[in-house]
Amino acid sequence: MRKITIAFDGYSSCGKSTMAKELASSVGYTFVDTGAMYRAVTLMALRGGLFNNEGNLNEEGLRTMLSTATITQKYNPQLGQAETFLNGENVEGQIRNMDVSDRVSIIAALPFVRTEMVRQQQDMGRHGGIVMDGRDIGTTVFPNAEMKIFVTAKPEVRAQRRYLELKAKGEDVTIDEVLRNLEERDYIDSHREVSPLRQADDAVVLDNTNLTRAEQSAMLLALYNERIKD
């Protein structure tokens, strides 16, 4: 059976990764979370002291660090999912905290960072059989993807879901902080010059504000079965 390319794009905390991961595992494809790659670059910048007290970034310092950095995703069979590695270290536990979330959109707007991440993502998906989630997958990384989904949901619903996730991990956050972070990221991601977040013309929109996971999965699987026939 032919292996297609599946692109998930959309706003922050819509559950893109969860549904992309689930679809990948039910059809036996590789799943790549591209947001995790931008998050790993952000963690590297934070650890390297590249942000000053005013929050400004030393771009040249980041360019130098990025030139020798390796960012990979490896499947962990015990967890049944891929984990992100920065220079060989598993950073999965550190890339989703608020420090990283607060700065990741600044890093993801830098053209030299995007060029390098997109190159790596295109390389990972060159044989098809991949489900990739991000903001520019259907528009820039794989404009010819056979199946494109654009995910959205009401900001309040997304913030509530993210808040519960962060609380479960023991993070000390308020729902207002989470909502503000989501709205700020969505604004920066949609207004940057290079590959802004936007719906590809041929993407199917999935608003999951009022959908259960089972309903979403059924819709996605039905679409996949249609697309592999074409």
Subset of 12-31 contacting ligand DC (CB under 6 A): 12
CA dist list (Å): 154 to 103, 161, 176, 197, 206: 23, 11, 15, 17, 12
Q: Output 116 or 136, the one with its CB closest to ligand DC.
A: 136
Decide if residue 34 touches ligand DC (CB under 6 A): yes
Question: By CB under 6 A, which span of 65-73, 103-111, 147-155, 200-208 interacts with ligand DC?
Answer: 103-111
Query: Residues 39, 103, 148, 162: which binds ligand DC (CB under 6 A)?
Result: 39
**189: Cβ–Cβ under 8 A, 6 or more apart, which residues?**
12, 105, 108, 109, 135, 196, 197
Query: Residues 22, 92, 116, 189: which binds ligand DC (CB under 6 A)?
Result: 189
Q: Phi and psi of 59, rounded to 5°?
A: -65, -40
Pairwise CA distance, residues 230 & 225, whole Å: 9
- 8: β partners: 133, 149
Query: Residues 21, 103, 158, 185: which binds ligand DC (CB under 6 A)?
Result: 185
Decide if residue 10 touches ligand DC (CB under 6 A): no
Site for ligand DC, rule CB under 6 A: 12, 34-35, 38-39, 104-105, 108, 134-136, 185, 189
